[in-house]
Amino acid sequence: MQQTISLQAQRRDTAGKKAPALRRAGVVPAVLYGHHVPSQNVQIEARAFEKVYKQAGESTLVDLQVGDEAPVKVLIQEVAKHHLHLKPIHVDFYQVSMTEKLKVTIPLKFKGESAAIKELGGVLVKNLQELQAECLPQDLVHEIEVDIAPLRTFEDTIAVKDLKIPSGITVLTRAEEKVVLAQPPRVEEEAAPAPSEKEVIEKITSVGDEKKAEKAKKEEEEGKKEEKKK
């Protein structure tokens, strides 16, 4: 059973131009909405939200309490961040219905050891970092684990169909999609050794001799032409 994650919010009357003042005060503007739920503006303490967001991400239910009202089950739907310091500047909370299925994105967590990596020196290639899925809110999981132990050789791969999916979750990502594999280590070509001083001199001499031979041949041909004219 997953641990309950709670977050306190307050109703927000300020909007628009007043939002920067809230952020300077350590408060993040947010909106709460959902299916058959009227939208309302709220605000949350920045540090408290960052802590919860680190725990829950966008695939774990959060108990959001607005003021003195009863907590509601929400998903963190979207987090807008500042383009410089990447701190949250606005958050969307989606209130879920516990009887309606959700389409969600569930992160993948890679664990274990692979012989192809540890013993053969391969490179782990993660083709997917998350899965598209559908489930009821109570069946939602924070992440799905991927054990990389089956990657014993460079021919082995792990596809979506090979994963252990928790009960109640329907994966929408294509079953044949490769999740992770091991590639052989890259072997850099050895650089050609720099020529020695002797080789450089010999090459210059050789080129010089070729040029002298070409010049002598040309002069000989020009001499023959002159003799014919006479």
57 with 119, same domain: the answer is: no
Domain end among 43, 74, 97:
97
3-state secondary structure of 42: strand
Domain-embedded: residue 47: yes
Residue 54: per-residue pLDDT: 93
Cα atoms in the 13 Å half-sphere on the side-chain side of 23: 18
Nearest CA among 77, 102, 98, 96 for reference residue 170: 102
Least confident of 28-42, 167-181, 214-228: 214-228
pLDDT tens by residue, 147-203: 999 999 999 999 999 999 999 999 999 999 999 999 999 876 555 666 666 665 566
Domain-embedded: residue 150: yes
Residue 174: per-residue pLDDT: 97
Task: Report the percentage of the chain scoring pLDDT > 70.
Answer: 78
136 with 207, same domain: the answer is: no
70 with 12, same domain: the answer is: yes
* The pLDDT of residue 107 is above 80: yes
pLDDT tens by residue, 118-127: 999 999 999 9
pLDDT tens by residue, 62-97: 999 999 999 999 999 999 998 888 899 999 999 999
111 with 52, same domain: the answer is: no
What is the number of structural domains in the chain?
3
In the block, tokens 């009887």 appear at: 99
Domain end among 79, 97, 115:
97
Domain-embedded: residue 1: no
Residue 53: per-residue pLDDT: 95
d(CA 105, CA 70): 27
d(CA 32, CA 11): 10
Residue 186: per-residue pLDDT: 80
Residue 128: per-residue pLDDT: 97
64 with 93, same domain: the answer is: yes
30 with 74, same domain: the answer is: yes
CATH of the domain at 115: 2.170.120.20
Q: Look up the domain containing 198 and give its range.
A: 193-230
116 with 159, same domain: the answer is: yes
Q: For 203-212, what is the mean pLDDT?
A: 59
Got the DSSP string for 205-223? HHHHHHHHHHHHHHHHHHH
